Amino acid sequence: MIRWGIIGLGNIALRFAKSLSYSNEGKLYAIASRTKEKRDEFYDKYNCEKVYENYNELLRDEEVDAVYIALPHGFHKHWSIEALKHKKAVLCEKPVGINSEEMKEIKKEAVLNNTFFMEAMKTRFVPIISDIKRMIRNKEIGDITAIEANFCNNVENIKPGSYLLDKDQGGALLDVGIYPLSFVMDMIDSQVKSVKSYMDINESGVDSYFKAILSFEDGVIGTVEGAIDRNKERTAIIRGTKGWMEIPMYNRPNKAVVNLNSGKSYTIEKDIEFDDMYAEIKEVHNCLKESKLESDYLTLNESIRVMEVLDRIRMNAE
């Protein structure tokens, strides 16, 4: 049984704990929070064995096998590295850091300590994603020409002081843009050649909207969009020479609709097991059982590759 510790008890930590409760291979053993009310609420709900008032104490607990980093983006690197130094396997929320240099530092520490690390980019582990990638490889819609994905969400009532509006770690690109970016880069088996991008910067100094056009070396054009100030239907479209594929809610999909130029249309479906976070937790358990140091579905280098393109989107933005 893998004993998990959670660092930071915000919104996503609650969802993680619920998802972990579906597993027979891991259990919530310890929590760490600076906030008494959160510790109490969490303990009442999940009845874990250890409750810590600071994050370092949890890392010093030798019974903790794996740590889930559920902090705002700007703290991911620091606490991932601290956890790796204590030889804890790490599942760190997305985005893995605020730029590619941070992920490179994390990789260095993971390698140095011979310890597992994975970014919690849940989409990569959703079961139907492998089927979609197989269909692309089998050229069911011909040669891929273009792919579009967005995550545009009008986040109302952002609390003052929220990390979302902090210009060092907030904004649409880091918070939601990482989903379409990671998805597009997972689907296209080619490197990004050039990046054109546009950003709206709001009064807090963060990007409230961005759009990026990625030209891949094999000629595919990827269009990625993200927003915290507007809504858009969250669908990915993959276009090929023989037809196109639509993937509703592509960040946690359970179906894909294939439309062929011949007029034929069909849908493939695969259920999500329990919820959208369960598959990534299961992947960590599988990797630890096999003593792997990284996941084949999202390697350390792949997290770096995605963050490097994210850096280029930010750098090139008009």
Ligand X SMILES: NC(=O)c1ccc[n+]([C@@H]2O[C@H](COP(=O)([O-])OP(=O)(O)OC[C@H]3O[C@@H](n4cnc5c(N)ncnc54)[C@H](OP(=O)(O)O)[C@@H]3O)[C@@H](O)[C@H]2O)c1
Q: Does 96 bind ligand X (CB under 6 A)?
A: no
How far apart are CB 135 and ligand X at their closest, in Å? 25
Sign of CA dihedral 50, 52, 55, 58: negative
6 contacts: CB under 8 Å, gap ≥ 6? 13, 16, 17, 28, 30, 31, 32, 67, 68, 70
144 near 136, Cβ under 8 Å? yes
Does residue number 90 form part of the binding site for ligand X (CB under 6 A)? no
Residue corresponding to tokens 């004993």:
3
**C-alpha–C-alpha distance, residues 242 and 221, integer Å:** 16
Which residue from 54, 34, 46, 53 is spatially nearest to 4, judged by alpha carbons?
Answer: 46
Q: 14 exposed, middle or buried (CB, 10 Å; 0-12, 13-18, 19+)? A: middle
Asked if residue 150 lies in contact with residue 176, where contact means CB atoms within 8 angstroms, the answer is no
Identify which range of 7-15, 104-112, 123-131, 193-201 contacts ligand X by CB under 6 A. Answer: 7-15
Q: Which is nearer to ligand X, 76 or 285 (CB)?
A: 76
Provide, rounded to whole angstroms, the least separation between the CB of residue 205 and ligand X. 17
Nearer Cβ to ligand X (245/313) = 313
Q: Is 196 in the site for ligand X (CB under 6 A)?
A: no
Q: Is residue 75 close enough to count as binding ligand X by CB under 6 A?
A: yes
Nearer to ligand X among residue 120 and residue 247 (C-beta): 120
Applying CB under 6 A, the site for ligand X has a residue count of 21
Residue closer to ligand X (CB basis): 12 or 288: 12
Choose, by CB under 6 A, the member of 5, 26, 72, 180 that binds ligand X: 72
Distant-in-sequence, close-in-space partners of 44: CB < 8 Å, separation ≥ 6: none
User: What H or E segment, with its residue span, contains residue 26?
Assistant: strand 26-32
- Binding segment toward ligand X, per CB under 6 A, in 8-16, 131-139, 144-152, 294-302: 8-16
> In the complex, what is the shortest distance from the CB of residue 181 to ligand X, in angstroms, rounded to a whole number?
13
Provide the minimum distance between the beta carbon of 240 and ligand X in the complex, in angstroms, as a whole number.
Answer: 29
Question: Which region, judged by CB under 6 A, interacts with ligand X, from 6-14, 18-26, 143-151, 210-218?
Answer: 6-14
Residue 17 within binding range of ligand X, rule CB under 6 A: no
Burial of 37: CB neighbours in 10 Å, binned 0-12, 13-18, 19+: exposed
Smallest separation (angstroms) from ligand X to the CB of 78: 10
Closest to 69 measured CA to CA, from 21, 12, 2: 12
Shortest distance (Å) from residue 109 CB to ligand X: 19
Sites of contact with ligand X (CB under 6 A) = 8-13, 33-35, 38, 70-73, 75, 93-94, 120, 122, 163, 175
